[in-house]
Chains A and B, each alone.
Chain A
C-alpha cells in the first residue's frame, strides 16, 4: 500500500534546510482472532497515505508488529527521520479495533420459532451475539426437553420474546417461566421483548430489576422493527462482554464504515468481512432517504465455522474444486485450518480447498440476503486480502456472492475499514476522505447475469474507452466468464446486450443497457454463469468446467496499449467517488430505448 514517497510534512518538502522535519502519523490496527493488521497513516506531500502496512499472526505480539512496521517505515521515511521511527510510531495516535475476545452468548425462549424466534435471532446476530440455544413452544420438543436444553445452556444473557402487543398468550409466560427455571437466580440479565400486556407478569417471574423490557419487535402481524432490540443487545454486549465499547469491535466498526461509504457517495454497498472466527455482512443503501442498513454478525461464521466440518459441506467443497482432491484430504485441510487459523495454505491443493471454503461461507452469508443490483461490493478479511492474486480474491467474491448486475468490486486490502469504523460517528467520513487513495483496492467491475440457455449467446458487450479505437464486440455464452483488462483508475462505458434468456436485475428485466464501469487490478469481468452457479452433475464434467473457469480467470490479461494512452483518470474527489459505478441517468438502464426497440433490436440510446 505504500506509495514509496518520502514521508514529509509540507514544510520540509518545500525546504530541505528548514528545521528538523516532523511527522504526523496515525496507526490503524485491527487485532483479529488469528491475524493482526496494522497500517501507518502518514502525511506525505500534503496528502494522507498508508505509508507502511503489515499483517501477522496475532500471537506474535505487539513488539514484533512494531519491529516490522519500523523496518517498513524506514524504507519510506525521510532519511533525517529514520532513527526516530520507533519514537514516531510510539507517539502515533492509535485507532484500534479487535475481534471480540469471545462472543456474547444468548439463550432465547420464544413463542414461535418462525415469527418471534426468528426476529429475536436476527436482532441478536446482527448485534454480535451468538444464539447458543433457542427454545420455542412450537419447535417440536416437549416441555422437559426445552427446559433441559435451556438449563444446559451457558449464556451471558436471556432473551424472552413472543406475543403481539394486544395478546396475552400463555406460551409467552411459559417461555418466561422456562428461563426463570433455567436461570436460577444470579446476575444474568433477562430481556423481555414481547407482548406489552404481559410485561408485569413476566417481570414477576424474576428478582426485581432483572428484567429489562423493551418495545416488542413484532407488535402485530404486519410490523417488524428490530432496531430497539438490536440497540439494547449492543449495549448489553458492551456492558457484559466488551467493557471497551462495541464501537471498538471489528464487526461493528466494519458495519459503520460500510454505512458511511454508502452515505457519502449515495451508493448501494455490500461489505463482507470474512475472518477466522467472525463473519460480518453489511448492506447499506445510500440512495434512499433515510438510508437503510442491514447487517449481520456471525460469531461462528468465519473460516473456522463448524458448518464447514459437516459431511455435506465437505462433499460440496470437494466437488467444487478444479483439482482432484479427495474428501478425506479436504476434511483434514479444513480442520487444520480451524486448528491453526494463522497458518497459510502451502500447496495449490490447500489453497483451492481454503478458497472453496471461503466461497461456501460467503454463499451462506449471502443466502436470501444479497440484494439485486448493488453498486459496490467490498470484501475484507485475511483470506481475501492474502489471496495470491487479485483475481483469486475476485473469484471468491463472485462465486460466493453472485452479485447480479453491474457491480464494482473492491478489496479492503489493508484491513482499515474496521478500525476506521471505531472512530466517533462524525470522524468516520473524515477518515474515509483522508485515506481516499488507499482505502480500498479496486479489483474492477463485474457484470453478472441470471439465466441464459446453456451454450447459447448470453452477453454481447462493447467496451468504450476514451482514446481507444472503436471496440470489438465481445460475445459471452451462457456458462462462460470473460475478463477484459481495464486498469485501475480507468473508467469506461460498456454497452451490454443480453440474449438467450439472460437477464440483469432491473424493473423490466433489462436486456440492453449502457453502464459506466471502473477498472481495477482485474478489470471488467463478464460473467454469464447464472446465479446460483450452474454446474454439471457428473464429477468429471463439473471439474472440467470449474478448471476452465479458473484458467480463464487466472490467465494474465493481454497487455494493453502503451501506458501513456491509458490515462483518462478523473481527478480524485473526496471520499469514494472514484469508485462510483454510476447511478446517474445516463448510466444503468436505457429501458426507454429497450422498450421502443424490443428485445434484441436497435442501438441503445445514449
Chain B
C-alpha cells in the first residue's frame, strides 16, 4: 500500500479520475455533485459492418462518386445524415448511428460500421466533478484513498464491512453469507479462489485483503474471464490487496482503521488497485523512508507482513542472507523478536494525525 506521507487534513478530498472511453458523451459538468451509481457519460458500442451502394443510388459510375462524398473516412454519422449527394440532388443517407470507413471505387459501395445502443459510464464514487475532458472526468471524493499493490476486477461500490476477527485471519468461504451481498468486505491475510468465487456468487461487491496467493488470483481472474466470454455472468466484482502477494496479514493499525470505518460507503477499483472510503478521515500513512522510532511493516519473506518498531540502523552495510549488502535496520517485531532488515524492505506506517 502506498499513500503519501504528507499529513492529510480531515475533509481534504481525494481526487479520482473516471476514464472515458473514446466517443463517450459526458452528462455532467464541472461542479456537478455525483453519486456512486450515477451515469456520468454514455457511448455507443461498435456493431457490425455494413456496405451500402452509393453509385447505384446516385445513378453515377463508381469512379464519379468520390467527388460527391459529404463525409470523410472515420466520420461519425447520425441517423439520416447525408453521406453523398449527386448534382441532381439525390442523396444517400446513413441508416442509423454509424461510422463511415471507406468508399470503394471498384464497386461504388461505402463501408460503414454500425453503432449499437448506448451504454453507460458509471463513476462509482460520490463527490464533486472537478474537470471534464475527452479522456476522463475527475471527481473530488471526500474521504480517504488507499492504493494497493494488486487486484483484479471491475469498479464497484458498496458498504464497507469487516468479515474477519483479526488482521491476520484468513477469509474463509464459510464467513460469507447473504448479508454480505452488495458490500465490500475486509478480509485478512488471504482468501482462496474458492472463497472469491463464493463471494461473487453471493453478490458481494468486492473484497479487500492483506495478501493473496498470486496463483489463486490468476485462477480466479481466468475463471471470471471465461465466464464472461461464454456469457451469463452478471454483476461486477473486485478484489484489491493492500500489502503483498502470498499469505500476508493486513497491518494491524490499518485493519483497526478499516474496522473503525465499517458501515461507510466505499468504492473499489480492482484493476487500478484503489480503495476509497467515503467520508472517512485519513488512514495510517505509509512512507518508504523509515526512521528510528517509526512503526514499520516488513515487505519481504520470511517476515513479510509483520510489523514492529525500527529501533536502530546499523553503521556499516550489512549482508542479507541473500548475500546482498544493504543499509540495515534493526526491527523489534510485535512478538518481541529482533530482526535485521534492509531499510529498503521496510515501510514506515504512521498513525493518522487526527481522527
Contacts and interface: CB of A to CB of B under 8 A. Distances in A.
Interface of A: 56-57, 59-61, 64, 142-144, 147-148, 151-154, 170, 173-174, 176-184, 186, 204-206, 309, 311, 327-329, 331-336, 339-340, 342-351, 386-389, 392
Nearest to A343: B345
A178 B326 contact: no
Contacts of B304: 336
Interface in B305-355: 319-326, 341-342, 344-345
Contacts of B218: 309, 311, 331
Interface in B215-274: 215, 218, 244-246
A17 to B, nearest CB: 35
A343 to B, nearest CB: 5
Given A183-B74, A205-B73, 13 more contacts: A144-B48, A148-B45, A170-B106, A181-B74, A309-B218, A336-B244, A339-B149, A344-B345, A346-B321, A347-B301, A348-B322, A349-B301, A387-B324
Given A147-B99, A331-B213, A388-B324, A184 B342 contact: no
B57 interface: no
Q: Which interface residue of A184, A204, A206, A327 has the most chain B CB atoms within 10 A? A: A184
A309 B214 contact: yes
Given A343-B299, A345-B322, A181 B19 contact: no
Given A144-B49, A335-B150, A351-B322, A64 B289 contact: yes
Contacts of A186: 134
Contacts of A347: 300-302, 320-322
Nearest to A142: B49
A332 B246 contact: yes
A240 to B, nearest CB: 14
Contact of A336 (B102, B300, B323, B324): B300
B96 interface: no
Contacts of A351: 322-324
Interface residues of chain A: helix, strand, loop or mixed (majority) = helix
11 contacts: A56-B344, A148-B45, A176-B74, A178-B74, A205-B73, A328-B215, A335-B245, A336-B149, A344-B345, A346-B342, A388-B323
A345 B300 CA distance: 7
Contacts of B322: 344-348, 350-351, 388
B101 A335 contact: no
Nearest to A35: B344
Given A151-B21, A388-B322, A388-B323, A343 B300 contact: yes
Contacts of A183: 22, 74
A206 B106 CA distance: 23
Given A144-B49, A151-B21, A351-B322, A336 B134 contact: no
B326 to A, nearest CB: 6
Contacts of A174: 73, 101-102, 111
A177 B101 contact: yes
A559 B130 CA distance: 69
Contacts of B341: 346
Which 3 A-B pairs have CB atoms at the shortest separation, nearest pair first? A180-B74, A388-B323, A177-B73
B289 A178 contact: no
B46 A331 contact: no
B76 A344 contact: no
B47 interface: yes
B46 A151 contact: yes
Contact of A339 (B73, B245, B320): B245
Contacts of B76: 181, 184
A344 B301 CA distance: 11
Nearest to B323: A388
Nearest to A143: B49
Contacts of A389: 323
A60 B343 CA distance: 11
A61 B4 CA distance: 13
B215 A144 contact: no
Interface in B2-55: 19, 21-23, 45-49
A64 B76 CA distance: 54
Interface of B: 19, 21-23, 45-49, 72-76, 99-102, 104, 106, 111, 113, 134-135, 149-150, 213-215, 218, 244-246, 288-289, 299-302, 304, 319-326, 341-342, 344-345
A311 B221 CA distance: 13
Contacts of B288: 57, 59-60, 342
B75 A180 contact: yes
Contacts of B104: 170
B105 to A, nearest CB: 9
Given A342-B344, A344-B320, A205 B21 contact: no
Contacts of B299: 336, 340, 343
A340 B273 CA distance: 14
Contact of A144 (B113, B134, B344): B113
A144 B246 contact: no
Contacts of B302: 346-347
Contacts of B246: 329, 332, 336
Contact of A57 (B19, B106, B344): B344
A142 B150 CA distance: 33
Nearest to B287: A59
Nearest to B148: A339
Given A64-B289, A346-B345, A348-B322, A339 B150 contact: yes
Contacts of A328: 213-215
Given A186-B134, A328-B215, A344-B342, A350 B74 contact: no
Contact of A332 (B22, B214, B326): B214
Contacts of A59: 288-289
B328 to A, nearest CB: 11
Q: Which interface residue of A179, A205, A345, A348 has the most chain B CB atoms within 10 A? A: A345
A59 B288 CA distance: 7
A201 to B, nearest CB: 9
A59 B347 CA distance: 11
A591 to B, nearest CB: 43
Q: Which interface residue of A204, A309, A350, A386 has the most chain B CB atoms within 10 A? A: A350
A143 B113 contact: yes
Contacts of A387: 324
A348 B323 CA distance: 8
Contacts of B111: 143, 174
A178 B46 CA distance: 12
B186 to A, nearest CB: 20
A345 B324 contact: yes
A170 B102 contact: yes
B149 A144 contact: no
A158 to B, nearest CB: 11
Contacts of A177: 73-74, 100-102
Nearest to A326: B215
A177 B341 CA distance: 57
B37 to A, nearest CB: 23
A463 B182 CA distance: 74
A180 B99 CA distance: 10
B323 A340 contact: no
Q: Which interface residue of A180, A182, A351 has the most chain B CB atoms within 10 A? A: A180
A351 B304 CA distance: 15
A327 to B, nearest CB: 7
A181 B74 CA distance: 4
Nearest to B304: A336
A311 B215 CA distance: 8
Nearest to B116: A144
Contacts of B46: 144, 147-148, 151
A603 B246 CA distance: 59
A581 to B, nearest CB: 29
A181 B215 contact: no
Contacts of A206: 72, 74
B268 to A, nearest CB: 18
Q: Which interface residue of A61, A176, A336, A348 has the most chain B CB atoms within 10 A? A: A336
A386 B342 CA distance: 13
A328 B193 CA distance: 14
Contact of B149 (A57, A153, A340, A349): A340
